Amino acid sequence: QVQLVESGGGLVQAGGSLRLSCTASGVIYRINVMAWYRQAPGKQRELVASITVGGSTNYADSVKGRFTISRDDAKNTMYLQMNSLKPEETAVYYCNADIRRRLWESSLNFWGQGTQVTVSS
């Protein structure tokens, strides 16, 4: 099976920075698109940023210029550098990835358990 484990969340003051990590483990042939989502209390889960295997990135308008997504395929790890954080960005941040476990299998979609990010005002 495949597991995605996030880390790096925590409490930070408004204007501060955090760096989230997501590491995939298990039977992995190839990791395709990876993405970060977040879900604030009482709100729907939303896409924050995504990155393809070729390194193309996509960001939600609200985080452009402040967040940077990256990946290290040698480590099966994705990162999210978050700068100039705002209180309204308090949420659980989830890692998501399309992973092909074996050459002859189709990709499957996996979620991490989430990491809490709290931005105080």
Tens digits of per-residue pLDDT, 99-109? 999 999 999 99
- Give pLDDT, residue 41: 92
- Give pLDDT, residue 91: 98
- Give pLDDT, residue 23: 98
Alpha helices in the chain (DSSP H): none
**Contact, 49 vs 80, CB < 8 A?**
yes
pLDDT tens, 31-67? 999 999 999 999 999 999 999 999 999 999 999 999 9
Strand partners, 98: 109
Tokens of 96: 């998501």
pLDDT tens, 60-100? 999 999 999 999 999 999 999 999 999 999 999 999 999 99
Backbone angles phi, psi at 62, to 5 degrees: -70, -15
> Residue 33 is which amino acid?
V
Q: How confident is the model at residue 24 (pLDDT cuts 50, 70, 90)?
A: very high
